[in-house]
C-alpha cells in the first residue's frame, strides 16, 4: 500500500448488508485502519445500497445484465471501471451473489476477498448453514478467503467457529454464523490493512510468526 494514505476498500454486495455495517462501524470506531471508498451492488433495492446511502458512502447500482448467476461482459466491465476510477486497494465481497471470473479477477489479482458462511473447504456453495445442519456437524463457522477462479476455493485468510446446537433451525444457525462473520471480516481486513498477513502458497501467515518471508506473496 502506498505512502501514508489509508487502505481503500470497495464493498460489493447484493443483500442485507450486515457485513457492510460491521466493516463501516469498525472504520468509524478506528478499529479498522481503512476507508470505505465505494459500495457497488447488482441489486437496485438491496439493503446494502440503502445503508450506504444513509451513511453518505459513495455507492452505485450497476445492472448485472442478462445472466442469473454471473455478470455479463458489459456489466463486468462497468464494475471494473467503477473500481478503477475509485482507486481501491481491496475488493470486499459481502453477499455479492454473482460469480466473478476471468476479466474481473485478472484486473485485481489477489485483491478480491470473500466471506463464506462455513468452515471451508466444508460446504462451499449455496446455503452452507443448511448443508452443515443436514450433514450433522457439531461445529461450523465462517471463512474469509481470497477469491480465485473456483467457487469458494481461494487461500484462506481467517476463520471463526460457531457451535451447532441440537435444536438449531437453519435460520437460528445462520444468524449465529452471521454474528461471527461480522466480527471476523473487520479483523481480517485490519490484519491486511496493517500488513500483518502474507500468503505463502495456499497458507496465509501472520507476519510476526514468519521465520522467513522468502517466496511469500506480500498482500
Ligand atoms: C453472508 O452470510 C456471507 O457469508 C454470504 O452472504 C451473506 C451476506 O450477508 N456470502 P450480509 O448482506 O452481509 O448481511
Domains of the chain by residue range: 1-109
* Res. 219 pLDDT band, cuts 50 70 90: low
pLDDT of residue 78: 96
User: The domain at 1-109 falls in which architecture?
Assistant: 3-Layer(aba) Sandwich (3.40)
| Ligand 1 atom nearest to CA at 14 | 12
At what angle are helices 170-193 and 18-28 packed, to 10 degrees? 40
pLDDT at residue 211 above 50? no
Task: Report CA 117 to chain centroid distance, whole Å.
Answer: 11
pLDDT at residue 210 above 60? no
Q: Tell me the best of 13, 14, 18, 19 to mutate to test the pocket of ligand 1, counting ligand atoms within 8 Å of each CB and taking the most.
A: 19
pLDDT of residue 115: 98
Ligand 1 lined by 19 (C-beta under 6 Å): yes
Ligand 1 lined by 178 (C-beta under 6 Å): yes
Ligand 1 lined by 141 (C-beta under 6 Å): no
pLDDT of residue 212: 46
Q: Where are the alpha helices (DSSP H) in 158-199?
A: 170-193
* Res. 3 pLDDT band, cuts 50 70 90: low
How far apart, in Å, do the first and last CA atoms of the chain sit?
9
* Structure confidence by residue, pLDDT tens digits, 154-169: 999 999 999 999 999 9
> Cα(140)–Cα(181) distance, rounded to whole angstroms?
12
Peptide bond into 191 cis (omega under 30): no
Concerning whether 116 is annotated as a catalytic residue, the answer is yes
Q: What is the pTM of this model?
A: 0.93
**Nearest CA residue ID for atom 10, ligand 1:** 95
Identify the residue with better confidence: 207 or 23.
23
Distance 42 CA to ligand 1 centre (A): 14
Q: Tell me the best of 14, 18, 41, 122 to mutate to test the pocket of ligand 1, counting ligand atoms within 8 Å of each CB and taking the most.
A: 18
pLDDT of residue 162: 98
Ligand 1 lined by 18 (C-beta under 6 Å): yes
Give me 147's grid cell: 477469491
* Structure confidence by residue, pLDDT tens digits, 67-126: 999 999 999 999 999 999 999 999 999 999 999 988 899 999 999 999 999 999 999 999
pLDDT at residue 151 above 50? yes
pLDDT at residue 213 above 60? no
Give φ, ψ of 145 to 5 degrees.
-145, 160
Ligand 1 lined by 43 (C-beta under 6 Å): no
The partner residues of 113 in beta bridges, in order of sequence, read 92, 146
Write down the mean pLDDT value for the chain: 93
Poorest-confidence range of 146-160, 167-181, 188-202? Answer: 188-202
Amino acid at each position: 500500500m502506498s505512502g501514508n494514505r489509508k487502505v481503500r476498500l470497495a464493498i460489493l454486495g447484493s443483500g442485507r448488508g450486515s457485513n457492510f455495517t460491521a466493516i463501516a462501524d469498525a472504520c468509524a470506531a478506528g478499529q479498522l485502519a481503512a476507508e470505505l471508498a465505494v459500495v457497488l451492488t447488482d441489486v437496485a433495492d438491496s439493503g446494502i445500497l440503502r445503508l450506504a446511502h444513509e451513511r453518505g458512502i459513495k455507492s452505485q447500482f450497476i445492472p448485472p445484465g442478462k445472466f442469473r448467476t454471473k455478470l455479463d461482459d458489459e456489466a463486468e466491465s462497468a464494475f471494473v471501471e467503477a473500481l478503477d476510477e475509485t482507486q481501491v486497494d481491496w475488493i470486499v465481497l459481502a453477499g455479492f451473489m454473482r460469480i466473478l471470473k476471468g476479466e474481473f479477477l485478472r484486473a485485481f489479482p489477489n485483491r478480491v476477498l470473500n466471506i463464506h458462511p462455513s468452515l471451508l473447504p466444508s460446504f462451499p456453495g449455496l446455503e452452507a448453514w443448511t448443508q452443515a445442519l443436514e450433514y450433522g456437524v457439531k461445529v461450523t463457522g465462517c471463512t474469509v478467503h481470497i477469491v480465485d477462479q473456483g467457487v469458494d476455493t481461494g487461500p484462506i485468510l481467517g476463520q471463526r467457529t460457531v457451535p451447532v446446537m441440537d435444536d438449531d433451525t437453519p435460520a437460528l444457525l445462520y444468524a449465529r454464523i452471521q454474528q461471527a462473520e461480522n466480527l471476523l471480516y473487520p479483523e481480517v481486513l485490519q490484519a491486511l490493512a496493517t500488513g500483518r498477513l502474507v500468503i505463502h502458497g495456499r497458507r496465509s501467515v501472520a507476519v510476526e510468526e514468519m521465520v522467513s518471508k522468502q517466496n511469500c506473496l506480500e498482500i
